[in-house]
Structure 1
Amino acid sequence: MMRPSLNDLTAFVAVATHRSFRRAADELGTAPSTLSHAMRGLEERLGVRLLNRTTRSVSPTEAGLEMLSRLQVALTSLDEALDAVSAFRGQVAGRVRINAPRVAAAVLVREVLPRMAERFPDVTVDLVVEGRLVDIVSGGFDAGVRLIEAIPKDMIAVPLARPIGFVCVASPAYLERAGEPTTPDDLQHHRCIGHRTPSGKLYQWEFERAGQELTIDTSGPVVLDDEGLMADAAAHGLGIAYVASWAAEAAIAEGRLRTVLSAWMHEPGRAAIYYPGHRAVPPALRAFLDVVRDVRQVNSG
């Protein structure tokens, strides 16, 4: 039997893990048809069916699952060996895949990635923005970002420099015309800029004061799914927006937006980069974590 190539084995792991030729092809930078042809050739060389295929899905057979579990261990060991050798080049290179919600991703883009690009120009940060919680291991990510209290106990967490908070904002002209709300209940008499979440649902605005928590349904002239655009819409007088503080801070400093209901906003939450504790840390991820720690130290100093 001819020994399969490393490329074919790597391709099989991608297909069997994603259970999709399309998603595996996206990861490997090739065409789904090329992967399908390669998998048929692999099965012919091994003399055993590894994948069950239908017009809508692909899944490993019993033999495929056995092979997948063994190859994942072998390929991880191979990656670790190559990472160890790369340290002798004196320069960190490679790709680090990070899964993050949009609010945290914006903090990374503004505060971490510029420093990362300066210090480690040969490292590519592949930042995937999602609103849902994902399993970073099965999703093929090196690390993720969550609020600290939501991070699984078996993960290692590296806190971000800046807490993630929210503000209610409106333009001075809108507030002069419509008046300023003093309690969240007043919002039912105001035009509010809607926020559509990644799931497609409208976000309910959340407030808290002296242990009292409120969730408010709002309505208004526009619904958006980008916090920067929501802050911009508020600055142009379309109504009140509930956004992450980073999205509005420049307009607030310039006087184009004013905060309202500040006494009712939740305390900012602490978020962190997290990654599996049972794996060797690849050099590219280690470099990324070093930059996160440096940014936190600079901001705290």
Structure 2
Amino acid sequence: MKQNFTVRQGALDGVEVFLSIAHHRSFRRAAAELGVTPSAVSQAVRVLEARIGAALFIRTTRSVGLTEAGERFLSRAKPAFEELVAASEVARGLGQRPAGLLRLSVPRAVVPILLEPLIASFCEAYPEVEVEIAASAELVDLAAEGFDAGIRLGQFVDADMVAVPLTPPLRLVIVGSPTYFAQRNRPESMDDLRQHACLRRRRSNGSLAPWSFNDNGHALEIAVSGPLIAHDFPTVLGAAVEGIGLAQLPEPMVAEGLREGKLVHVLESFAPVIPGVFLYYPDRRQIMPKLRAFIDHVKSRPLGHGAAPDAG
């Protein structure tokens, strides 16, 4: 059964004074080291002894010694206090300069863009920062999972996050391979999609993402059907290139396939515009220097149109 406990108020009060006196074996020299008066040192010791419930020092007109209780307290308090000071120094260092582990939650499709050249150039510029990339389509809770920041399409970034745009708004376009259209007519209307194999994507919440359209300024969503369901955009893209079916994807993802003739556009006039890719993180008041350095680095080298992330 878990025991109830509280941290006693002022539990560390007087410990530094005690350690200084024990080191110098002098109240006066301890006062000089700490920059306080000898009377303040004496008062701190009296309060500490009263709180502990035992005398810690043996004082005479000529010398200062430790009682048995003082010796035992010193043996445990000294290494603990030194460790606490060291911990404070480590934390202070992380709060003053870019250093430590920077954990990023990113979609798999964005990883190549981050690695080449963004992460490489960041690591070169900030050698004291270690970058950990968790590539997943899951929309994680950054704080709960211990991430410093994430990258996602804008519509999947929570309103309470600070978001930094990495790309302009993107179009969602429908594409298919020449192989696929060798045996089928190209769709001319949204209704024609009922006669086509449409590749679908399952969101991280378990639902199937509908296809979105812009019909003369009106936003529409249509449930489509087809032979394949994937959990991320890259898998959908690969299936479209192989001729398995039509895919609706962020335009940057299909740019290379279109240039190389592996994919062709259809229903272009119905393509909706969605928010672009964003770097997002919790309240800016909590930013550590390592994240601030990464944000500034990203702003100086924004992601281009070469890829787009998996959505949630």
Same fold per superposition (TM over 0.5):
yes
The correspondence for 2:92, drawn from 58, 63, 81, is 81
How far off is 1:94 after superposition? 2.3
Paired positions, count: 229
SS in 2 for 1:177: coil
Q: How many angstroms apart in 1 are the aligned matches of 2:254 and 2:303?
A: 24
The alignment's TM-score, normalised by the length of structure 1, stands at: 0.62
CA apart distance, 1:284 = 2.2
Judging changes above 3 Å, is the alpha-carbon distance between structure 1 residues 106 and 194 closer, same or farther for their aligned structure 2 residues? farther
Structure 2 equivalent of residue 140 of structure 1: 146
Q: What are the Cα deviations for residues 138-188 of structure 1, in whole angstroms up to 9, with x where unaligned?
A: 332212334556655654332213544422111123223211112222111
Are 1:147 and 1:272, in contact at CA under 8 Å, matched by a contact in 2? yes
User: Residues 169 and 231 of structure 1 are in contact (CA less than 8 Å); yes or no, is this contact kept in structure 2?
Assistant: no
User: Cα distance 1:77–1:252, how it changes in 2: closer, same or farther (>3 A)?
Assistant: farther
Is 1:172 aligned with 2:172? Answer: no
Residue 233 of structure 2: aligned partner: 227
Residue 282 of structure 2 corresponds to 276
Counterpart among 79, 101, 105 of residue 95 in structure 1: 101
Identity %: 32
Alpha-carbon separation, structure 1, partners of 2:279 and 2:255: 23
Q: Distance in 2 between matches of 1:131 and 1:123?
A: 25
Residues 211-259 of structure 1: per-residue CA shift (max 9 Å, x gap)? 3232222222322223223222222221211223333221111011011
Distance (Å, rounded) in 2 between the aligned partners of 1:152 and 1:130: 17
Q: Tell me what 2:2 maps to.
A: 49
Is this contact kept in 2: 1:185–1:216, CA < 8 A? Answer: no
* Counterpart residue number, 2:271: 265
SS of alignment partner, residue 178 of structure 1? coil
Q: CA–CA distance in 1 between the matches of 2:160 and 2:264?
A: 42
Stretches of structure 2 that go unaligned for 5 or more consecutive residues are: 9-86, 306-312
1:296 aligns with 2:307: no
RMSD across aligned positions (CA): 3.6
Q: What's the CA shift string for 1:12-35, capped at 9, x where partnerless?
A: xxxxxxxxxxxxxxxxxxxxxxxx
Deviation at 1:122, TM superposition (A): 4.8
Report the 3-state secondary structure (helix = DSSP H, G, I; strand = E; otherwise coil) of the residue aligned with 1:274: strand
Is 1:287 aligned to residue 293 of structure 2? yes
Aligned position for 2:207 = 201
**Bigger mean CA deviation after superposition, 169-178 or 159-168:** 159-168
SS at 1:81's partner residue?
helix
In the alignment, the residues of structure 1 paired with residue 139 and residue 303 of structure 2 have an alpha-carbon distance, to the nearest angstrom, of 28
Looking at structure 2, the residues matched to 192 and 154 of structure 1 have their Cα atoms a distance apart, in angstroms, of 35
The amino acid across from 1:81 in the alignment is R
Q: Which residue of the other structure, out of 155, 159, 165, is the alignment partner of 1:159?
A: 165
- Structure 2 vs 1, CA of residues 201 and 291 (structure 1 numbering), >3 Å: closer, same or farther? same
Computing the radius of gyration from Cα coordinates, the structure with the larger value is: 2
Aligned to 1:21: none
SS in 1 for 2:227: coil
The separation in 2 between residues aligned to 1:221 and 1:232, in whole angstroms, is 14
Does the CA-based 8 Å contact 2:254-2:263 persist in structure 1?
yes
Conserved 8 A contact 1:103-1:244: no
Unaligned runs of 5+ in 1: 1-47, 51-61, 68-75
CA contact (8 A) 2:197 2:244 kept: yes
Quick check: 2:169–2:273 contact (8 Å CA) kept in 1? no
Aligned to 2:19: none
Alpha-carbon separation, structure 2, partners of 1:252 and 1:270: 20
- The Cα offsets for residues 43-66 of structure 1, whole Å up to 9 and x where unpaired, read as xxxxx936xxxxxxxxxxx649x8
Question: 1:104 & 1:77 partners in 2: Cα distance?
Answer: 36
Deviates more, 1:133-142 or 1:104-113: 104-113
Cα distance between partner residues in 2 of 1:138 and 1:287: 22
Please report the TM-score for the alignment, with normalisation by the length of structure 2: 0.60
